[in-house]
Amino acid sequence: MNAQTNQQRFLGGLYGSLVGDALGVPVEFKPRADRVADPVTGMRDYGTHGQPAGTWSDDGALLLCSVESLVEKGFDTEDMGARFVRWCNLGHWTAHGTVFDIGIATRKALLLIEQGCPAELAGGQDQYDNGNGSLMRILPVALAFHLKDETLFCSHLDRASAITHGHQRSQMACVFYGLMVRGLIYGLDPQAALQQAQVCFVGIYEKSEEFSHFVTVMQPTLGTLPESQIGSGGYVMETLTAALWCLLTTSSFSECVLKAVNLGDDTDTTGCVAGGLAGVYYGLDSIPKDWQAKLPRQQSLHDLFHPFIPLCAP
């Protein structure tokens, strides 16, 4: 794959995540029935959180903090955690200077970090700590280290997850997502990327007690499941499954992210995670220009992403 295609995929993933997040923000927490009656077809304003159109949530802000940390410090979980705290307390990398949404597990972990807890020990390790708060921000780590050997690649995903979500299930979900992203970067179509990710995942985790929780995403026929079997709440396995399913059952960036958001419930995160996959696969140019133009802080995003891209393809 040539450098231009690489850049298209990396920027597509980053902007795609933000766009998917922003599409979901105005309708977050609303049930699927509401979206059936009134489907999202483009950027909306206000709604659930009273934000202008194009506003990303905690998902996008923590993803951007991760990019900034990787650019300025390399892989340094202490630095990454400190930037997350800065987001929580000072609105760092928010769309408009205000934090309007934060998950319970993330808030708890960041408070521990603020009190001196090592970042990689801050994330909750109980089975009830498996929200989607690390999955939603893991894409930059997958992009930055996709060329590394599998052990290092998976370790970085694990460790980055642990800052806010330290249970193995959440960490494994981040690894599965990373493996999927890696296949898409290499130019595989979604079904082939899924199959490759499944093979790698089995090799790494087949003997884990947590492996049984991945039975749905391990199905070769995941893309044939009816929508009624796809959850869209805040549980990490629901978000991972929904994002994969949306990519497998659509044929364009727009179709994928709108399908994700119109599943209802945790719309911003499902949109963000699906948007990252679709952006990597279809590339930056596939993202509707009017959607991308709605994102605030355009120059700041450009200045942040410009030095990040070379890290992904040295």
Q: Specify binding-site residues.
A: 57-59, 266, 268-269
Amino acid symbol at 43? M
**Numbered residues of the known binding site for Mg(2+):** 57-59, 266, 268-269
Gap between the Cα atoms of 273 and 259, Å rounded: 12
3-state SS, residue 235: strand
Gap between the Cα atoms of 248 and 263, Å rounded: 15
Residue 188 exposed, middle or buried by CB count within 10 Å (0-12, 13-18, 19+): middle
Amino acid symbol at 64? L
3-state SS, residue 265: coil
Gap between the Cα atoms of 278 and 205, Å rounded: 26
Q: Read off φ and ψ for residue 51, nearest 5 degrees.
A: -105, 150
Q: Any idea which residue has 């995403």 for tokens?
A: 217
Gap between the Cα atoms of 282 and 250, Å rounded: 11
Query: If you write DSSP's letter for every residue of 22-73 in order, what string do you get?
Result: HHHGGGTT--HHHHHHS---S---BGGGTBPTT---HHHHHHHHHHHHHHHH
Amino acid symbol at 303? D
Amino acid symbol at 147? L
